[in-house]
A = this chain, B = another copy of it.
Amino acid sequence: MDKEKVASTKRRLQDDQVYAALAETFGALADSNRAKILHSLMNEELCVCDIACLIGISDSAVSQHLRILRTLRLVKQRKSGRMVYYSLNDEHIKVLLDVCLEHTQHG
């Protein structure tokens, strides 16, 4: 074991909570339905029932997915009457999706 290398790497590491936050955010992306939702929102905002229809799961399930994504600031909502429209929160999300897509489709 290389004690020197371990020590110098340890110095570069951040607090545990930083990695916990990273993992939590990646976790929000780690579900095919949520990935589909985010990809659907890349061009235009959609309401809950549009998304439910689009990907074929219940309104309830969509709402729960959106709550997870909203909590982590991956999507934002705009309320209008009884409708709630969702859109991507910022450009980070598109980059994450694009880079990961590129990685999975070849490497």
Contact = CB atoms under 8 A, between A and B. Distances in A.
Sort chain A's interface into a size bin.
Answer: 35 or more
Contacts of A46: 2, 5-6, 9
Interface string A51-63: 0011000000000
Interface in A16-42: 16, 18-27, 29-36, 39-40, 42
Majority-rule SS of A interface residues: helix
Contacts of A35: 19, 22-23, 26
Nearest to A7: B54
Interface string A75-107: 000000000000001101101110111111101
Contacts of A36: 13, 19
